[in-house]
Amino acid sequence: MKEELAGILGRLSDWAYRQGGYSEIGRRLKKSPAAFYNLVSRGSLPSIATLSELAIAYPDLDLNYLIRGKAFPVESEIEELKRQIKLKDAIICKLVEFEKEKAPTSEAL
């Protein structure tokens, strides 16, 4: 559990830095920057209420990544995967058609 906690707090701290620091987050949440800083520095897990406030204030925050260390695929990645699946489906259809054309017909037998 300590390793998981350290990972969560590390990702939270890195994220806070990218957002402009604890002062900016405190300003946006209308809370003291020290409250957020203390959360990370004391090594305690953020509450559901805190995570909810962060998610509302920062819609792009990926809570899945923050908690698990694994991000959800972004929309562009999902669209690219869909495109690849369609391409593979088209290739399979062409191969099946080719094999049907190549197979001997009952008249030829």
Same domain, 96 and 56: no
Same domain, 41 and 63: yes
Kindly give, in sequence order, each residue whose CB lies less than 8 Å from that of residue 5, ignoring residues fewer than 6 positions away.
43, 45
Same domain, 20 and 48: yes
Same domain, 8 and 48: yes
Same domain, 38 and 9: yes
Contact assessment for residue 43 and residue 37, using Cβ atoms and an 8 Å cutoff: no
Q: Which domain holds residue 29?
A: 2-68
Average pLDDT, the chain: 85
Of residues 75 and 56, more confidence is placed in 56
Same domain, 54 and 19: yes
pLDDT at position 1, please? 63
- Number of structural domains (the chain) is 2
Span 70-87, average pLDDT: 81
Buried b (16+ CB within 10 A) or exposed e, 70-98: eeeeeeeeeeeeeeeeeeeeeeeeeeeee
Please calculate the CA angle 61-49-26 and round it to the nearest 5 degrees.
Answer: 65
Q: Is the pLDDT of residue 9 over 60?
A: yes
Task: Identify the band that residue 14 occupies on the pLDDT scale cut at 50, 70 and 90.
Answer: very high
Q: Is the pLDDT of residue 56 over 90?
A: yes
